[in-house]
Structure 1
Amino acid sequence: MSRSLRHGALAATALVFSIAGLSACSAGNDAQTLQVRPDNAATAVDSIKIQNLNIITQPEPDAEGPAVIAATLFNDGAKREVVEKVTLPGTSATVKLQAAKGGPLVVPAGGRVVIGGKDNASAVIENGSQAGRNGNVQTVAFTFSETGEIALGAAIVPATGFFKDFGPSALPSAKPMPTPSDSASETPGEQSEAPGEQSDSPSATPTDSATATDDAAAGH
């Protein structure tokens, strides 16, 4: 079997198992209801393992804003793997990847990378509504530099309960708008002209005084 066909078969198998696991849990994925950690999609292809995969949306129903992908990636191989892209097949959604410290998202050899949550790498779906509805399962495809594409189903859940710290609310806030104090900081620059204008008057005064002194001496 070719490498692409084998990956496709494994991806399909992972999706079937993830859907079966979700169907078996009649209480859903609400951690507060289950009082246990919710089931999460997982699979392994070659040296790569993907665990705890979920798509996490805004905490409030129908709220506009980004959604995020949360997962843990393991690399048991001898070479590092770069996550080149993440896509949601069948949708027009785009996923923006960012490593925890900038640069490409690398899973080191013999190491792991956590996606989602404070101080971790992030995978942001800018238009969260394109990810799908809460309670559904959406295929997520990771493309690795060495292993290639691995696809599996992820549950779509809101950023509540267990998922609160991994959802969109955990993302860095946008750059703040200028405040009145910022505007006030420009005042010295505007006032800087005043000393320059006043400097003309003092510079003229010594000259006038000297002229008056010379005239008085001549008259004397």
Structure 2
Amino acid sequence: MSRSLRRGALAATALVISVASLSACGAGNDAQTLGIRPDNAGVSVDDIKVLNVLVITQPEHGAEGPAVVSATLFNNGDKQQTLESITLPGTSATVKLAPAKGTGPVVVPAGGSTLLGGAGNASATIENGREAGKNGSSQQVVFKLSKTGEAKVNAFVVPAASYFKEFGPSEIPALPTATATATPTGTATKPAAPTGTATPGSTAGPTGEATHAAGH
């Protein structure tokens, strides 16, 4: 074998080993932790990158209650930006934004990131959650930022179960339960029978004793 062929074979072997090592790392505990959103939707526009976008609905099919938009927004610019709105075109869903603490706008800091969804993070709540889309479908989500403008991405609609539970709606209504039919606790008694016996031409009085009709 020539020297060049040997070098090529050694390079190919090294590549296979490095890929195998990365695959092994990906199968570890970190992969389970980060595996919540490894293949989910993302988009980059100017300095803004929006990754891991999901629309997360109630865990039970058909349940009433809010849904949420979950995503991570990165700002690679040198100036902070404000997330002005999130919309779901083609639906009547309205999205309410709230910062992680206090009140005011959701800010994506310069050179930093902001997470939407999950405890202690900013939130994007779809109050009429049934309008968010059907589980398993793809829904367009539009992020509007103060400087970048609109960033559009198609996101999966999933229920708040399994890996998505901790990023799902914080308000999960209890499922309706069957209403038990009340049964009477007392024992019904028969109405009291009159003690007197009415005779022809007489009228029964209040005490049950027969009284003669007037004129007789």
The answer to whether the 8 A contact 2:65-2:172 is kept is no
- The correspondence of residues 1-220 of structure 1 with structure 2, limited to 5 A, is 36-38=35-37, 39-101=39-101, 102-168=103-169, 170-171=170-171
Q: From the superposition, tell whether residues 123 and 100 of structure 1 become closer, same or farther in structure 2 (CA, over 3 Å).
A: same
| 1:90 CA displacement | 1.0
Preserved contact between residue 47 and residue 75 of structure 1 (Cα < 8 Å)? yes
For the residues of structure 2 that align with 1:37 and 1:110, how far apart are their CA atoms?
Answer: 24
Gaps of 5+ in 2: 1-34, 174-216
TM-superposed deviation, 1:171: 4.9
Distance (whole Å) between structure 1 residues aligned to residue 121 and residue 140 of structure 2? 22
| Alignment check: 8 A CA contact 2:65 2:171 kept | no
Distance 1:75 1:133, change over 3 A: same
Cα separation, 2, equivalents of 1:42 and 1:151: 9
What fraction of aligned residue pairs are identical, expressed as a percent? Answer: 57
Matched pairs, number: 138
8 Å contact 2:94–2:126 — kept in the other structure? Answer: yes
SS at match of 2:52: strand
Counterparts in 2 of 1:172 and 1:37: CA distance versus 1, 3 Å: closer
Q: Structure 1 regions of 5+ residues with no counterpart?
A: 1-35, 174-220
CA distance in 1, matches of 2:156, 2:81: 25
Which residue identity is paired with 2:63? A
| Coordinate RMSD, CA, aligned | 1.8
Shift of 1:134: 0.0
Q: Distance in 1 between matches of 2:162 and 2:112?
A: 28
Amino acid at match of 2:148: T
Alignment partners' CA distance in 2, 1:37 and 1:62: 23
Alignment match, 2:18: none
1:43, distance to aligned residue in structure 2 (A): 1.2
Q: TM-score, normalised by structure 2?
A: 0.61
Asked if the contact 1:69/1:115 (under 8 Å) is kept, the reply is yes
Where 1:114 maps in the other structure, the secondary structure is strand
Distance 2:135 2:150 in 1: 25
Q: CA deviation at 1:103?
A: 1.1
Q: Which runs of 4+ in 1 moved over 4 A?
A: none
CA distance in 2, matches of 1:159, 1:92: 21
State the match for 2:24 in structure 1.
Answer: none
SS at match of 1:164: helix
Q: Which amino acid aligns with 1:51?
A: L
Q: Are 1:116 and 1:122, in contact at CA under 8 Å, matched by a contact in 2?
A: yes
1:213 is aligned to none
Q: Aligned with 1:163: secondary structure? A: helix
Structure with the greater alpha carbon radius of gyration: 2
Q: 1:172: how far off?
A: 9.8
